Amino acid sequence: MTTQSEKIFGIHAVESALSRAPQNILQVFLQKGRQDKTLTQLEHLAQQMGISLQRMDKRKMDDWVKGNHQGIIAEVKVHDATLNENQLLSLVEQQANILILVLDGVTDPHNLGACLRTADAAGVAALVVPKDRSAQLTPVARKVACGAAETVPVVKVTNLARFLSQLKQSGVWVIGTAGEASSNIYQTRFQGPTALVMGAEGSGLRRLTREHCDELIHIPMAGSVSSLNVSVATGICLFEINRQRSAN
């Protein structure tokens, strides 16, 4: 578990932090001259908790964050769950029915955060991403993850194809998703240690990543759209895996 400080912003995000983990809030910044009932309530709540408050110009707050801060920013301590490659491989040896999520080329922090949130709900042991061509755990990703960055380790690997080979050697069945795959998720039996590999929306899995999968599957589509957002597709696949496992 690593600790660092970052700025979160927006009424919902700061309100959530005040209610869930006020001990992690270092300071709250409020926009000068802005009169808002909800902001006033949050100000009073922070004061009651003994949290330092500071008024700031809107222009400086705009420069601090990318997004609509709604007149409130909080500096908080974040505790990210972390594992390295070797620690995850050791975890594979310890958990008989481990479930791992792998994201290949997902560069949107919103999607990373949403996938983390879904992974937490589905009981995923770790989320694996390549060190390059991948979204980072930015404040935006953490905001979307709603706390899942503190519970689901994000494992950054130097060479994704090589790491998939190591997972396979450790007995993990590696299943990738591809629109042109002949089998769909409902025809596939998910048993034993499993790594689900999801590609970026549009470009999908890279060639080397595909080649290191044991099996490729697709989600059947009944409408006119050709693909789903990666976080939505991830949720469908993870919960189909859980459905099958709970039925056994």
Which residue numbers belong to the known binding site for S-adenosyl-L-methionine? 199, 219, 228
Structure-block tokens of residue 165: 């080979």
**Backbone phi and psi for residue 62, each to the nearest 5 degrees, phi listed first:** -60, -40
In this structure, is the dihedral angle defined by the CA atoms of residues 200, 202, 205 and 208, taken in order, positive or negative? negative
CA distance 38 to 72: 10
Helix/strand/coil percentages in the chain, nearest 5: 40, 25, 35
CA distance 174 to 193: 9
Q: Counting Cβ atoms within 10 Å, is residue 1 exposed (0-12), middle (13-18) or buried (19+)? A: exposed
CA distance 64 to 229: 29
Which residue ranges make up the annotated binding site?
199, 219, 228
In this structure, is the dihedral angle defined by the CA atoms of residues 7, 8, 9 and 15, taken in order, positive or negative? negative
CA distance 22 to 28: 11
In sequence order, the 6+-apart residues with CB closer than 8 A to the CB of 225 are: none
